[in-house]
Amino acid sequence: MSFKAGETGAPLFPNLTIPILMLGTSDSTKLPWECRGLTTKPKILAVSDSRERGEQLRAQFDGVADIVIAEGMLRALARLKREEFDGVYVGAAHFQDAFQIGKLLQNERILEGMPDGVVLLDSDNTIIWGNGRLREWSGRESVIGANFYAVLGSPEILGPDFCPFHTALATGLPSSSTLRSGDNRYYRVHATPVREGDGPIQHLIVTVRDLTTEILQQQKLAAIHRAGIELANLTPDELFHMSVEDRIELLKSNILHYTKDLLNFDVVEIRLLDAETGKLEPLLAVGMEPAAAGRVLFASMQGNGVTGYVAATGKSYQCENTVEDPLFLEGSKDAKSSLTVPLILHDEVIGTFNVESPDPRAFTESDLQFLEIFTRDVANALNTLELLVAERAGTTAESVEAMHSAVALPVDDILNAAVNIMERYIGHEPEVAEHVKRILRNARDIKQVIQSVGQKMSPSQAVPQSLQHEERPLLKSKQVLVADADESVRSAAHALLERYGCIVETAHDGAEAVFMARNTLGHSGYDVIIADIRLPDMSGYDLMLKLQDVLDVVPLVLMTGYGYDPGHSIVNARRAGLPADAVLSKPFRLDQLLDTVEKIILKPKAVKQA
């Protein structure tokens, strides 16, 4: 389509139903509507490039038309949106602009359908055209002619540009910022300058996107992350004064608080998985029916409800309608939907986290995302609590062990000295012998009291399973005598065997071992005697012969360094009845020591006497 000055043609603004478009110059002698035979005085919008030019047009059409002047096509566009006109007069200088603006209006329906706001601003931030989105957001009947910021309730500018409109006008480059309104809504604005000829930039095309949902989700994620950090965050003073049970209760209280106030879930059930049995033990249940909270569940895909399925598969499960879901087992009264996610730590399921609602399809994908993030923090908090308990238990055990190690050998020295005295005074000074026996009893009691206190200070149930010692019930309370000249061997015997409940005493040489054996008969004697094959005063074989004179049964184990036995002590001892499996080669592993001691304890007396 092309027009020449002074001609009329079909309107370029069909959506505005303007019947006449005039393109001409100021020296036209006959106005276009006169050619069309109009008899009434029309209302014409005349587009001018300056105020002076506008006054010339007003004077030219005076008496024959009601002229409204608009300086530039963009302002003309704004007037067209607000008012009705019978025609538009566009001078030749604005012909190309008119054609482009006409295209913009022809596509107005597309702009109206956009989810983002699109507005045209002048240099005073006044809205001169818009696609209506701001009208919807602000609740106003019209936003044309209003200040952009006023329409959004004078929002706070969060940056990066303090005023994107000023920046775009000043630099001629696009600029962006985020706005936050008083009702806690967030908008992203992007301003692009519109150039009209060689003059200064007077207008901006601004797109506005509502980011409220996205930013509120980000804020909620950040709040969930902060909550996760706080779940098991205890000060050193709290750690010192709180018991394990107190810390567990605090963790449960924090979980419940954040689940209700942050995630807005009122019905909560948390279960922890016993890795050995597969049983899901209840940790926390709020809003659940008592029978459901106490229900026995296992990590199984069938017969154990949604909770068992999630624990078995490690996958979250969204039950949209409990009535139609065959996996669902009743939890809270009148529950119509549920959301269950696994508690995962180091890629392993350690439990489940379940929430329920009385409304069907109550949980969204966002709820699932938030709960999965929160449960990662819950799993970490549970692990942190377990590690803190383990650390305290381990520290206590180390302290008890260190204390016991410091006392064990000196007490053994007391025992050795006491039995030596008894050997001298038995049959000669009964009163002295009785006093020495009392010393022996007291010395042995000291060691047992230390052991007993240590067990109470670090109960096994407070220690994670991975850190607990293997149970060796056969060794508990068994009395073991270790004879070796090497102090490190005697000390190690205390540390290793007493860890499993043995009562250990030591001797420096063979004579002390015999004295100790003879003077333990009053407290049932030793269950196992471990001796080096080369003691300072005799061989292991010689010790065996002397013990056979004292004891009816000699539960002896001989130790040799790297199998070295120059005096054939082991060969001779085996001939005298030492069992084949009653030999340890130093250095020996802990499991070998424990297994050998258990075998001697289990030997029938007939074999021991052979």
The reported pLDDT for the residue numbered 7 is 37
- Cα 348 to chain centroid distance, Å, stands at 14
For residue 119, pLDDT over 70 is answered with yes
The single-letter DSSP state of residue 318 is E
Pick the residue with more confidence: 400 or 197?
Answer: 197
- Higher-pLDDT residue of 327 and 395 is 327
The matching CATH number, chosen from 3.30.450.20, 3.40.630.30, 3.40.50.300, 3.30.420.40, for 112-210 is 3.30.450.20
Q: Is 538 a residue whose pLDDT tops 90? A: yes
Q: Would you say 495 and 401 are in contact if contact means Cβ atoms under 8 Å apart?
A: yes
Q: Is the pLDDT of residue 419 over 70?
A: yes
| Pair type for strands 203-210 and 317-319 | unpaired
What average pLDDT does this structure show over 136-163? 88
Ordered alpha helix ranges (H), 332-364: none
Q: What confidence score (pLDDT) does residue 2 get?
A: 31
Both tokens assigned to 569: 């002590």
Q: What are phi and psi of 514, to 5 degrees?
A: -65, -45
Greater confidence (325 vs 469) lies with: 325
pLDDT at 406 over 80: no
- Integer distance in angstroms from the first to the last C-alpha of the chain? 124
- Which residue would you say has higher pLDDT here, 176 or 91? 176
Q: Taking residues 189-208, what's their average pLDDT? A: 85
Percent of the chain with pLDDT over 90: 29
Q: Is the pLDDT of residue 85 over 80?
A: no
pLDDT reading at 62 higher than 60: yes
Over residues 196-225, mean pLDDT: 83
| Secondary structure percentages of the chain, helix, strand, coil, to 5 | 45, 20, 35
- Judged against a pLDDT cut of 90, whether residue 241 lies above it is answered with no
User: Could you give the CA distance from residue 47 to residue 23 in angstroms, rounded to a whole number?
Assistant: 10
- At 240 the three-state DSSP class reads helix
Range 13-29 average pLDDT:
43
Task: Report residue 209's pLDDT band, with 50, 70 and 90 as the boundaries.
Answer: very high
Tally DSSP H helices, then E strands, for the chain: 21, 21
Q: What is the pLDDT of residues 254-313, one digit of tens each?
A: 888 888 887 888 899 999 998 889 999 998 899 999 999 999 999 999 999 999 999 999
Q: Specify which of 114-128, 226-240, 376-390 reaches the highest per-range mean pLDDT.
A: 114-128
With a pLDDT cut of 70, the percent of the chain lying above it is 72
3-class secondary-structure state, position 205 = strand
Confidence at 466, pLDDT banded by 50, 70, 90? very low
Asked whether the beta carbons of 181 and 152 are under 8 A apart, the reply is yes
Measured between alpha carbons, how far is 54 from 201 in angstroms, rounded to an integer?
A: 20
The DSSP bridge partners found for residue 194 are 203
Residues 527-540: what's their mean pLDDT? Answer: 93
- pLDDT higher than threshold 50 for residue 606: no
pLDDT of residue 329: 92
Q: Is pLDDT of 243 > 90?
A: no
CB-count exposure of residue 190 (10 Å: 0-12, 13-18, 19+) = middle
User: What angle, 0 to 180 degrees and rounded to 10, lies between the N-to-C axes of helices 510-518 and 540-550?
Assistant: 20
**Amino acid code (one letter) for 218:** Q
How confident is the model over 377-398, as pLDDT tens digits?
888 877 766 655 554 554 555 5
Phi, psi dihedral angles at 11 (to 5 degrees): -65, 145
Q: Model-level pTM? A: 0.47
Q: Confirm whether 8-106 and 112-210 share one CATH topology.
A: no
Please write the tens of the pLDDT for every residue from 423-444.
776 655 667 667 777 777 776 7
pLDDT band at residue 1 under the 50/70/90 scheme: very low
Domain 401-464+474-609 classified CATH 3.40.50.2300? yes
Average per-residue pLDDT in the chain? 78
Can you give the pLDDT at residue 363?
Answer: 92
User: Looking at residue 15, what is its pLDDT?
Assistant: 40
* 39-43 average pLDDT score: 71
Residue 4 has pLDDT above 60, yes or no: no
Q: Which superfamily does 220-390 belong to?
A: GAF domain (3.30.450.40)
Q: Kindly state the average pLDDT of the residues 230-243.
A: 62
| Average pLDDT for 165-193 | 92
Give the pLDDT of residue 518. 85
Query: Domain spans of the chain?
Result: 8-106, 112-210, 220-390, 401-464+474-609
Q: What's the pLDDT tens digit per position in 67-79?
A: 888 776 667 766 7
More confident residue, 531 or 333: 531
CA gap 594, 591 in Å, rounded: 5
Q: Provide the Cα torsion 35, 36, 41, 43; round to 10°.
A: -110
Cis-peptide, bond into residue 587, ω within 30° of zero: yes
111 or 323, greater pLDDT: 323
Please name the fold of domain 8-106: Rossmann fold (3.40.50)
Please tell me the predicted confidence (pLDDT) of residue 555.
Answer: 93
Q: Is the pLDDT of residue 165 over 90?
A: yes
